[in-house]
C-alpha cells in the first residue's frame, strides 16, 4: 500500500511540479532583468574620434540608478590609456553620477577597448566601448583627468622650480645661466638666485634645459614639465684647472674680477628669447647671402630623419632642430628641400619646397616628433626616390640622414649598397650623428664612405649649430 500511495502521490504531484518550474525560471529571470534594469548609461559607445594636436580628449557620460535603493561601485576595469574619475562612488536611489574619462595614449593607431563597470545592485556589469584614432602623440599631454569643480585650462602654465648645484660639494651655484628650449628654439633665458634656484611658470610641454656657469662644465637634460613633474636639480662639474704657461716674464699681468666674469653673458643672444629676470639686450641674428650663386651650386636636399623613441631623449631632437632652423636662414629660392621622417614607417612631411619658403620648412621641422622603432631600409629607398624626383642637373643632390644610433644589422648592408650605387649616379649621402656613441659613429661612417658625404656630429646645442650648414657648403662649393 505504501508503494501504491507513493505512486499515487507522485502521479498527482507531477503536473503541479511541472507547472511550478517555469514559473520559478520566469520569476528568477524577471528578478535579474529588474536588477540589471536598475542602472542605465547615457551612452555605451564613447568615440574620442581622431586625436590630433589640440584635440579634445576628455569625455563624460551619466550613470543613473532607477531603483529605490543606493548602488555602490565595486570595480571598474579601464586600460592604462584612460584616466578616470567618478563624481561619486555611490549612486543614490533614483539618482545619477557623472563618469569623466581622459584619453592618455602611449602609441599611435586605432584604439578599441571594452570596459566593465560593476555595481552592488546589478549582477551584470555596465559595458562600455571606447574608441579612438590616435594620429598625434605627445606624452607631455598625458596629464590627469580634470577634477570635478573649477579647473585651470589644460594647457595653462605650470609652476616649475630649477636648482643648480656643484656636483662635487653639493652647494648651490648662484648666477648660473640656463635656457628652456622647445622645438629647437630657446624660449626663456634666466639666472639662479643666491640659493641656486629659479622659479617660473611655463606651459605644460617637453623641454630641453641647458645650464652653464663660469668655471663649470655645462649640463643639460630633457624632461616633460607638467603637474606630476615640475622640479629639477642640475649638477655642474667644476672645470679642471690648467697649468699657466709664462710666455713673457716682462708682460703685465691682467686680472679679471670674479664678479665681472659672472656678469658677462655666457649664452649668445638669440632672436625672440625671453630674458628673465635680467633685461639682456635682444640682438637679432642677421645673416648675409651665405650661399652666393657664383660660388655655390643649386642645392637639392632630402632629409631622412630618425624619429624613433630614442631620439626623444637627452634633447636630441632639439639639437637637430636648432641646426635645421639655422640652415633655413641660408637657403635660396633656387634650392629645394624635402623632409622625410621615419621610425616604424616613413612619412614625407614636405616635398621639393623652395628654399626661401622658410615658414613652410620651419613648420615641417617643428612637426618632427619621436615615437616607434627604427627601421631604416624603407626610409632610404624613399629618400633616394624623392631625390631623383627633384633632381637638379649640375647641382648638389644630397641626402641628409639623421639618426642617433647604428641601424639594424638586417638593414645595414643594404643601406651601404644603396649609398654606393646612388653615389655613382651623382648623389651625396651625409649622416648627422645626433649625440651618438663612438661605436654608432664608426658604423655610420661606413655609410658616408660609400655615399661620398661626411659624418657630421651634432652633440652640443650651441657649438654644433653651424656643422650642418658647413657640410652643405662643402658639398655645394663650385670647383674652379
Alpha-carbon distance of 428 to 302, in angstroms, equals 10
Instruction: Please identify which residue in the block is written with the cell numbers 640682438.
Output: 283
Contacts of 191 (CB under 8 A, 6+ apart): 175, 176, 177, 178, 198, 277, 278
- Alpha helix positions (H), 111-212: none
Q: What is the pLDDT along the chain (480 residues), one digit of tens a residue?
A: 444 433 333 333 444 444 445 544 444 444 443 444 588 898 899 999 888 876 778 888 999 998 889 999 999 989 989 999 999 999 998 889 999 999 988 888 899 999 999 999 888 899 999 999 988 877 666 777 888 765 444 445 678 889 999 999 999 999 999 888 888 888 888 899 999 999 988 887 788 888 899 899 888 888 878 777 788 898 999 987 544 444 344 434 333 333 333 333 444 444 444 444 433 333 334 344 789 999 999 999 999 998 887 887 888 999 999 999 999 999 999 999 999 988 777 889 999 999 999 999 999 998 888 765 655 667 888 999 999 999 999 999 999 999 887 777 777 888 889 999 999 999 999 999 999 888 888 889 999 999 999 999 999 888 899 999 999 999 999 887
DSSP 36: H
Quote the cell numbers at residue 28.
528568477
Contacts of 278 (CB under 8 A, 6+ apart): 189, 190, 191
Count other C-beta atoms under 10 Å from residue 469's C-beta: 20
103 — phi, psi (to 5°)?
A: -85, 120
Q: Which residue, 302, 323, 320, 303, is CA-closest to 311?
A: 320
Give the β-pairing of 109-119 and 126-134.
Answer: antiparallel
109 bridge partner residues: 134
Domains and their CATH numbers in the chain: 39-137 (2.60.40.10), 157-240+252-275 (2.60.40.1120), 299-476 (3.40.50.410)
Q: Which residue, 401, 403, 383, 379, is CA-closest to 391?
A: 383
Amino acid at each position: 500500500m505504501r508503494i501504491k500511495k507513493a505512486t499515487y502521490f507522485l502521479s498527482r504531484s507531477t503536473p503541479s511540479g511541472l507547472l511550478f518550474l517555469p514559473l520559478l525560471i520566469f520569476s528568477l529571470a524577471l528578478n535579474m532583468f529588474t536588477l540589471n534594469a536598475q542602472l542605465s548609461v547615457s551612452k555605451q559607445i564613447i568615440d574620442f574620434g581622431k586625436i590630433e594636436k589640440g584635440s579634445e580628449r576628455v569625455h563624460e557620460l551619466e550613470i543613473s540608478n532607477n531603483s529605490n535603493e543606493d548602488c555602490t561601485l565595486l570595480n571598474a576595469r579601464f586600460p592604462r590609456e584612460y584616466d578616470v574619475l567618478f563624481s561619486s562612488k555611490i549612486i543614490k536611489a533614483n539618482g545619477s553620477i557623472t563618469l569623466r574619462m581622459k584619453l592618455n595614449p602611449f602609441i599611435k593607431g586605432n584604439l578599441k577597448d571594452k570596459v566593465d563597470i560593476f555595481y552592488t545592485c546589478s549582477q551584470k556589469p555596465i559595458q562600455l566601448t571606447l574608441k579612438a584614432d590616435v594620429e598625434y602623440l605627445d606624452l607631455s599631454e598625458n596629464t590627469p583627468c580634470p577634477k570635478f569643480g573649477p579647473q585651470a585650462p589644460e594647457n595653462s602654465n605650470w609652476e616649475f622650480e630649477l636648482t643648480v648645484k656643484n656636483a662635487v660639494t653639493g652647494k648651490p651655484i648662484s648666477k648660473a645661466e640656463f635656457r628652456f628650449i622647445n622645438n629647437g628654439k630657446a624660449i626663456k633665458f634666466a639666472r639662479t638666485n643666491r640659493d641656486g634656484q629659479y622659479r617660473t611658470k611655463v606651459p605644460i610641454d617637453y623641454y630641453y634645459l641647458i645650464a652653464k656657469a663660469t668655471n663649470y662644465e655645462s649640463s643639460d637634460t630633457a624632461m616633460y614639465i607638467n603637474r606630476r613633474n615640475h622640479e629639477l636639480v642640475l649638477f655642474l662639474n667644476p672645470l679642471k684647472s690648467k697649468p699657466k704657461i709664462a710666455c713673457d716674464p716682462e708682460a703685465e699681468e691682467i686680472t679679471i674680477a670674479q664678479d665681472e666674469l659672472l656678469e658677462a653673458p655666457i649664452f649668445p643672444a638669440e632672436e625672440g628669447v625671453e630674458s628673465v629676470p635680467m633685461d639682456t639686450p635682444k640682438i637679432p641674428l642677421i645673416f648675409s647671402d651665405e650661399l652666393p650663386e657664383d660660388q655655390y651650386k643649386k642645392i637639392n636636399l632630402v632629409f631622412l630623419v630618425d624619429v624613433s623613441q630614442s631620439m626623444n631623449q637627452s634633447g636630441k631632437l632639439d639639437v637637430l632642430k636648432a641646426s635645421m632652423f639655422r640652415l633655413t636662414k641660408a637657403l635660396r629660392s633656387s634650392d629645394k628641400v624635402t623632409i622625410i621622417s621615419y621610425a616604424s614607417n616613413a612619412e614625407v612631411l614636405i616635398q621639393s619646397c623652395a628654399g626661401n619658403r622658410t615658414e613652410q620648412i620651419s613648420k615641417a621641422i617643428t612637426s618632427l616628433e619621436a615615437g616607434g622603432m627604427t627601421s631604416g631600409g624603407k626610409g632610404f629607398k624613399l629618400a633616394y626616390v624623392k631625390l631623383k624626383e627633384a633632381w637638379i642637373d649640375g647641382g648638389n643632390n644630397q641626402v641628409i640622414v639623421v639618426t642617433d644610433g647604428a641601424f639594424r644589422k638586417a638593414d645595414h648592408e643594404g643601406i651601404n649598397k644603396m649609398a654606393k650605387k646612388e653615389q655613382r649616379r651623382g648623389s651625396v649621402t651625409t649622416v648627422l650623428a645626433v649625440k651618438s656613441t663612438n661605436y654608432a659613429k664608426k658604423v655610420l661612417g661606413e655609410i658616408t664612405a660609400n655615399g661620398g658625404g661626411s659624418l657630421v656630429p651634432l652633440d652640443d646645442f650651441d657649438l654644433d649649430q653651424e656643422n650642418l650648414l658647413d657640410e652643405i657648403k662643402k658639398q655645394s662649393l663650385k670647383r674652379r
